[in-house]
């Protein structure tokens, strides 16, 4: 008599048929900067008692890999401020060797890369995104409220030295850094980096009016075409960016434009917060609590919660930013859900 094999875990397919293959895992909502478009100067972060342990994060990540997640991005807040982060990255990274995971990546502000670039490489990370909205020291200090751009540039250099592929993430800010976009392209070309431009998103209450700094990337695209040739590319890293090759520089340019060009039709992403809340869309408040499920019912309960979330994943977000002093699309900050 043959022994029946255990049933394979159900694949991650949402209610409208999109296959989910990309998990963005926020390991902390804390950050060592306070970028004006992202956070208020005085933030109330989650108490440590409210967040998943690193072991719980690893166990949930394991389950997602078993159910078909092929890419995991570790985010925050600033993920490198979480104590023990290297161990979590190594634990998840073991799936790369076994073929269960195609890629483990990271988004960081770069402050801690001088000491962390080599451990990240050892954990299996081969590609990282570094947030850098300006290379001007005074502007950088203004945007981040107290940051030192030299520290970030040292982190960029350390990541390059460690052999990590680097993409620079630059939030396009009207009247603040729009004159630096072309110079940033040239710098990235010289350094061998990709560049992705991002529209500011209406997430969380901040101390300023986002409409003052909103720069549509459609406008940026038009301006860049006056100086360069932008050749559309059939290329994807699994995220929402649309890519072009900028000639004659040869640099790859991505644009993430949630407001001027919706990218939801092919969404393959879900987001898990440090507190264990699983969000199916960056622009909606609907979520399930995987921390509670894990602690009360184990992994079977986690599967049930994931299935519930998949059924209600929305077709698209509804970001709007054109109305001055309008409430944000969602009350949580980007640092809670992860970029």
Q: From the centroid of its chain, how far is CA 180?
A: 22
Residue 334 burial (C-beta neighbours within 10 Å; 0-12, 13-18, 19+): buried
Q: Has 186 been labeled as part of a binding site?
A: no
Q: Has 73 been labeled as part of a binding site?
A: yes
Q: Distance (Å, rounded) from C-alpha 201 to C-alpha 282? A: 10
Q: Has 244 been labeled as part of a binding site?
A: no
Q: Has 131 been labeled as part of a binding site?
A: yes
* CA geometry: angle 51, 264, 306, nearest 5 deg: 40
Alpha-carbon torsion 149, 154, 160, 164, what sign?
A: negative
Q: Has 242 been labeled as part of a binding site?
A: no
Q: Has 279 been labeled as part of a binding site?
A: no
Q: Has 24 been labeled as part of a binding site?
A: yes
Q: Has 31 been labeled as part of a binding site?
A: yes
Q: Has 270 been labeled as part of a binding site?
A: yes
> Please, are residues 245 and 252 in contact by the beta-carbon 8 Å criterion?
yes
Q: Has 107 been labeled as part of a binding site?
A: yes
Contacts of 308 (CB under 8 A, 6+ apart): 288
Q: Has 30 been labeled as part of a binding site?
A: no
Could you tell me if residue 294 is left (phi over 0), alpha (psi between -120 and 50 degrees) or otherwise beta? alpha
Token readout for 275 is 């507190």
Q: Has 267 been labeled as part of a binding site?
A: yes
Q: Has 188 been labeled as part of a binding site?
A: no
Q: Has 266 been labeled as part of a binding site?
A: no
Q: Distance (Å, rounded) from C-alpha 168 to C-alpha 155? A: 12
Q: Has 196 been labeled as part of a binding site?
A: no
Edge-first strand listing for the sheet containing 229-232: 229-232, 242-247, 251-256, 194-199, 165-172, 127-131, 103-108, 71-75, 22-26, 269-272, 277-279, 287-289
* CA geometry: angle 288, 293, 299, nearest 5 deg: 115
Q: Which residues are annotated as a binding site for S-adenosyl-L-methionine?
A: 37, 77, 131, 201
Q: Which residues are annotated as a binding site?
A: 24, 31, 35, 37-38, 73, 77, 107, 131, 167, 201, 264, 267, 269-271, 281
Q: Which residues are annotated as a binding site for [4Fe-4S] cluster?
A: 31, 35, 38, 264, 267, 281
Q: Which residues are annotated as a binding site for GTP?
A: 24, 73, 107, 167, 269-271
């Amino acid at each position: 008599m043959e022994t029946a094999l255990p049933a394979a875990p159900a694949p991650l397919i949402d209610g409208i048929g999109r296959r989910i293959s990309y998990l963005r895992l926020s390991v902390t909502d804390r950050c060592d900067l306070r970028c004006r478009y992202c956070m208020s100067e005085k933030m109330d972060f989650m108490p440590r008692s409210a967040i998943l342990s690193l072991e719980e994060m690893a166990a949930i990540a394991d389950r997602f890999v078993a159910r078909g997640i092929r890419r995991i991005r570790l985010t925050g807040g600033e993920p490198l401020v979480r104590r023990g982060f290297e161990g979590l990255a190594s634990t998840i990274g073991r799936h790369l060797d076994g073929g269960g995971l195609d890629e483990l990546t990271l988004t960081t502000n770069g402050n801690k890369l001088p000491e962390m670039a080599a451990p990240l490489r050892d954990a299996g990370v081969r590609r990282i995104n570094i947030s850098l909205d300006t290379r001007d020291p005074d502007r950088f200090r203004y945007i981040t409220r107290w940051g030192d751009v030299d520290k970030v540039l040292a982190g960029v250099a350390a990541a390059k030295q460690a052999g990590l592929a680097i993409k620079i993430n630059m939030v396009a800010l009207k009247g603040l850094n729009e004159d630096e976009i072309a110079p940033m392209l040239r710098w990235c070309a010289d350094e061998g980096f990709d560049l992705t431009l991002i529209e500011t998103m209406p997430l969380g209450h901040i101390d300023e009016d986002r409409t003052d700094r909103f720069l549509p990337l459609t406008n940026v695209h038009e301006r860049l075409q006056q100086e360069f040739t932008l050749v559309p590319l059939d290329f994807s890293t699994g995220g929402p960016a649309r890519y072009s090759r900028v000639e004659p520089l040869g640099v790859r340019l991505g644009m993430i434009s949630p407001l001027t060009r919706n990218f939801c039709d092919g969404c393959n992403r879900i987001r898990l917060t440090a507190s264990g809340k699983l969000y199916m869309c960056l622009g909606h408040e609907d979520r399930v609590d995987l921390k509670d499920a894990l602690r009360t019912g184990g992994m079977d309960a986690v599967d049930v919660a994931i299935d519930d979330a998949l059924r209600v994943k929305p077709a698209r977000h509804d970001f709007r930013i054109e109305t001055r002093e309008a409430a944000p699309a969602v009350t949580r900050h980007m640092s809670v859900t992860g970029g």
